[in-house]
Amino acid sequence: MGLADARAMYPGAEIVEADPQADRRLLEGLADWCDRYTPLVAIDGADGLFLDISGCAHLFGGERALLEDAGRRFLQQGFDVRAGLASTPGAAWAAAHFLAPVPEELERAFGQGRPGEICPSILDEGREAEALAPLPLSALRLDPAVRAGLESVGLRTVGALLSAPRAPLARRFGAMLLVRLDQALGRVEEAVSPRLPVAPLSVERHLAEPVILMEDIERLVVLLTASLKPDLERRGEGARTLELLLFRVDGAVRRIAVGASRPLREPALVQRLFHERLAALENGLDADCGFELVRLSAALLAPFEMAQADLHGDADDGGDTLALLADRIRARLGDDALLAPVPAQSHIPERAVANLPFAKQPTRGKAVPAAAVAEAAPERPIRLFASPEPVEVMAVEVPEGPPLRFRWRRVLHQVARSEGPERIAPEWWHDRADAPTRDYFRVEDEQGRRYWLYRQGLYGASKEMPRWFMHGIFA
């Protein structure tokens, strides 16, 4: 219908342009809010949600009580809800769309005021066929073309399909028709794929009074971590990623995640990370009327290795103190704020180390003793320049030998001792075919300062004279 015709028929009609992206964000926000009932929440189309409440209903007093509580809260937020419950997703979808009362029917049943609860349609297990038989074909979530073809041959209800031979239906209308029918009846398994990963462990607390202050939220984090710790100990694991979910009274949900370089169990350590993360929020938590439900989830777990203490009660923390400091910095400034050098697969000095975010360092096996590393690799400078700096060499002992004098940063150095050369060839899989070879020398000047020089190119190998560079400084 055109806009002018619609306004002629209904002068008081309010016209609002559609915003599918905003509608999608709203539906995702409602899906986050439904996470209070079950972590298995999936989005269905543009206006529906699937909730798998298997094993969760008893926490809310049963299936009907859970649906009534959800519907009551939706109505308080200004949404009209039609809910259906069944043993299969297909039957629940049909019950919500075709058996649950619409809002107008609720108003007629309860008067002009909004009812205090919704009236969900609940199908008993094993009676799906009986309940679905009088419903139209749309209840099976069929494609419009298939549905139109079935109606053209006189099959207009689910019951008519149930009584028709299956083989001719599959040949004429495709196998998906029977799949949808069997899914609704429970003959074929249909899983609800959650929109977010399900955490292995979660603990939550329903609050009698909503909390607003940051200090109260941090105390709740400590209490929830203490409740989570026994399960982590029983599994022999610790948390690498923790997520705090704050359910606001008006339906908004805040998700705050922190990561740990090493598995954590202790409530005090977890509280420190969340303290830094909460302090880094630009606009704060925006508690509004407060948070009524707080949940702490261990999204990523890892084996927890216990440290053996000595007779004095002291134990080598194995870098735990550094890891905790790094985690607190990352929680406040972000994962990319702290980088750590990691060995790379290259024998070119400036490529042999890569700076990666602290939390993304590759997992290493058993540590190699420092003495073994020193014997296996040549000595390297304590400071390696990112870009080698040109050096002016005054004289060399022999064409292939070390320099006798060199000028670097406008200062002339007289070489007293030297060691080398150590030849490093170019990497043919990275460099061009005519890339020059490097000959490295460890030299010491008359003042005892030690340098790492290299000659790029060979004397007499080409018309161009070799060039010298400073690449690092020893202690």
pLDDT at 106: 53
> Is the pLDDT confidence value at 114 over 70?
no
What average pLDDT does the chain have?
86
What residues pair up with 450 in beta bridges, in sequence order? 444
Q: Are 94 and 186 in contact (CB under 8 A)?
A: no
Query: Residue 102: inside a domain, yes or no?
Result: yes
Compute φ and ψ for 390, nearest 5 degrees. Answer: -60, 145
Residue with tokens 């790094």: 326
Q: Are 402 and 420 in contact (CB under 8 A)?
A: yes
CA distance 389 to 386: 9
Do 122 and 261 fall within a single domain? no
Omega of the bond prior to 341 within 30 degrees of 0, cis?
A: no
Do 178 and 57 fall within a single domain? yes
- How far from 28 is each of 20, 24, 81, 190, 291, CA to CA, in Å? 12, 6, 16, 22, 19
Do 128 and 155 fall within a single domain? yes
Query: Residue 97: inside a domain, yes or no?
Result: yes
Q: Domain range holding 438? A: 383-473
Sign of dihedral through CA atoms 369, 372, 377, 380? positive
Query: Residue 410: inside a domain, yes or no?
Result: yes
Residue 360 or residue 131, greater confidence: 131
CA 93 to mean position of chain CA atoms: 29
Instruction: List, in order, residues 6 or more apart from 174 with CB less than 8 Å away.
Output: 146
Do 370 and 414 fall within a single domain? no
CA distance 72 to 259: 36
CA distance 277 to 327: 10
CATH number at residue 214: 3.30.1490.100
Neighbours of 273 (CB within 10 A): 21
Do 25 and 160 fall within a single domain? yes
CA atoms within 13 A on the CB side of 275: 13
Confidence of residue 43 (pLDDT cuts 50, 70, 90): very high
Long-range contacts of 266-272 (CB under 8 A, 24+ apart): 266/225, 266/229, 267/221, 267/222, 267/223, 267/225, 267/226, 267/229, 268/222, 269/324, 270/221, 270/222, 270/225, 270/239, 270/242, 271/218, 271/221, 271/222, 271/225, 272/324, 272/328
Q: What is the DSSP letter of 334?
A: -
Strands annotated E in 65-132: 84-85, 121-122
Local structure of 101: helix, strand or coil: coil
Do 269 and 353 fall within a single domain? no
CA distance 237 to 257: 19
What DSSP line would sit under 221-257, residue for residue?
Answer: HHHHHHHHHHHHHHHTEEEEEEEEEEEETTS-EEEEE
Confidence of residue 316 (pLDDT cuts 50, 70, 90): low
Instruction: List, in order, residues 6 or more apart from 457 with CB less than 8 Å away.
Output: 436, 437, 464, 465, 466, 467
CA 422 to mean position of chain CA atoms: 46
Query: Residue 195: inside a domain, yes or no?
Result: no
Query: Residue 192: inside a domain, yes or no?
Result: no
Confidence of residue 307 (pLDDT cuts 50, 70, 90): low
Do 410 and 357 fall within a single domain? no
Using CA atoms of 226, 229, 230, 231 in order, give the dihedral in degrees to the nearest 10.
130
Q: Are 95 and 86 in contact (CB under 8 A)?
A: yes
| pLDDT tens profile 327-348 | 888 888 887 778 888 888 888 8
Residue 325, H or E segment: helix 320-333
Which of these ranges, 246-260, 392-406, 409-423, has the smallest mean pLDDT?
392-406
Q: How much is the pTM?
A: 0.70
Residue 386 or residue 91, greater confidence: 91
Do 366 and 437 fall within a single domain? no
Instruction: List, in order, residues 6 or more apart from 325 with CB less than 8 Å away.
Output: none
Copy the structure tokens of residue 72: 């009551």
Confidence of residue 470 (pLDDT cuts 50, 70, 90): very high
CA distance 426 to 347: 9
Kind of pairing between the strands at 383-396 and 403-408:
antiparallel
- How far from 104 is each of 17, 67, 73, CA to CA, in Å? 25, 19, 19
- How far from 313 is each of 266, 308, 323, CA to CA, in Å? 18, 9, 21
pLDDT at 319: 63
Do 181 and 212 fall within a single domain? no
Do 282 and 298 fall within a single domain? yes
Query: Residue 193: inside a domain, yes or no?
Result: no
Q: Are 29 and 252 in contact (CB under 8 A)?
A: yes
Q: What is the mean pLDDT of residues 69-83?
A: 89
| pLDDT tens profile 161-176 | 999 999 999 999 999 9
Query: Residue 313: inside a domain, yes or no?
Result: no
Do 148 and 14 fall within a single domain? yes
What DSSP line would sit under 379-442, residue for residue?
Answer: ---SEEEEEEEEEEEEEESSTTS-EEEEEETTEEEEEEEEEEEEEE---TTTS-TTPPPEEEEE
Residue 116 or residue 42, greater confidence: 42
Confidence of residue 133 (pLDDT cuts 50, 70, 90): very high
Query: Residue 434: inside a domain, yes or no?
Result: yes
Do 151 and 36 fall within a single domain? yes
pLDDT at 317: 56
Instruction: List, in order, residues 6 or more apart from 66 with CB less than 8 Å away.
Output: 37, 53, 56, 57, 60
pLDDT at 116: 45
pLDDT at 150: 94
Copy the structure tokens of residue 143: 């494609």
CA distance 50 to 403: 76
Confidence of residue 371 (pLDDT cuts 50, 70, 90): very low
> How many folded domains does the chain comprise?
4
